[in-house]
Amino acid sequence: MAVERVQSAIARARAQRESRSEAFDPSDLSMVEDDDDIIEAFEPLDWNALPKSSMTERILDRARIVTAGLSQNATAFDMLRTKVLQRMKAEGWKRIAITSADKNCGKTTVAMNLGFSLSRQQELRTILIDADLRRPSLARAMRLSPKSGFAQVLTRDVPLPQSLIRVRDNLAVLSTRNRSLNSAELLHSEGVPGVLKEIERAYRPDVVIFDLPPLMEADDTLAFLGNVDCALLVTTAEHTTSAQIDACVRDISARTALVGIALNKYRAVGAVTGY
């Protein structure tokens, strides 16, 4: 019944989106920069100068990253990549958030595999950011040792190049080293839009993936969703309830566009349901 539950939730969300005039409209995304967000023009930084980490097969396996190469296990994530990328290109979007209703849904695994799947398209440049400041996991999963993390970038305590690490020629990771006690305040601060624009201007990524905390655990994700173009909701078979899906879809749709719902741990194979 897991697939039916997700499909039913998607149908309800789609009906609400089509019938409510106040539903989120991607055209509402402001394309005009506020004075406080304006950053002086500068030449893009050298992407190839970023430090590169060697991702061994053992590290990839322990992190459950199956999309680094061509394999049957990568099929579900590659389908997710194609659906998401087609929608993002059609809408002119760059930023996508990955979140879930609660913990243990596999959102970080989805985020990593989406990033590596995108990296197999050589013409694309992707940045994967660990925006789960309460329970960061990307650095540990990928065995990365950044000099600083996303929290320090948000507060401008360190230069951006000290935080990014390339794990593929066209995939860089901005991880988070330690938990932040004031995570919601950091993600909701007035300087966040300017920092994100600076990242994009500095390294010209085609896609930026944000691994965000679960929606129903704290207000961190609610505080940040307005800074992304779209969001993917990760659910878990026989665990995520219809009520949770409905609540998350409402919260996401009120702040950004819902690009899809991923059903994880269904008969040991990830499944993606379009929206």
Shortest CA distance to 237 belongs to which of 212, 258, 262?
A: 262
Residue 22 covered by a domain: no
Give the per-residue pLDDT at 29.
42
196-222: pLDDT as tens digits: 999 999 999 999 999 999 999 889 999
Which of helix, strand or coil describes residue 233?
A: strand
Residue 159 covered by a domain: yes
Residue 9 covered by a domain: yes
Residue 45 covered by a domain: no
Residue 27 covered by a domain: no
Strands, E assignment, 61-206: 95-100, 126-130, 164-168, 171-174
pTM for this predicted structure? 0.85
Give the per-residue pLDDT at 146.
83
Q: Which domain holds residue 128?
A: 2-16+75-274
CATH number at residue 199: 3.40.50.300
Q: What percent of the chain has pLDDT over 90?
A: 65
Residue 37 covered by a domain: no
Give the per-residue pLDDT at 4.
66
Give the per-residue pLDDT at 38.
41
Count of domains observed in the chain:
1
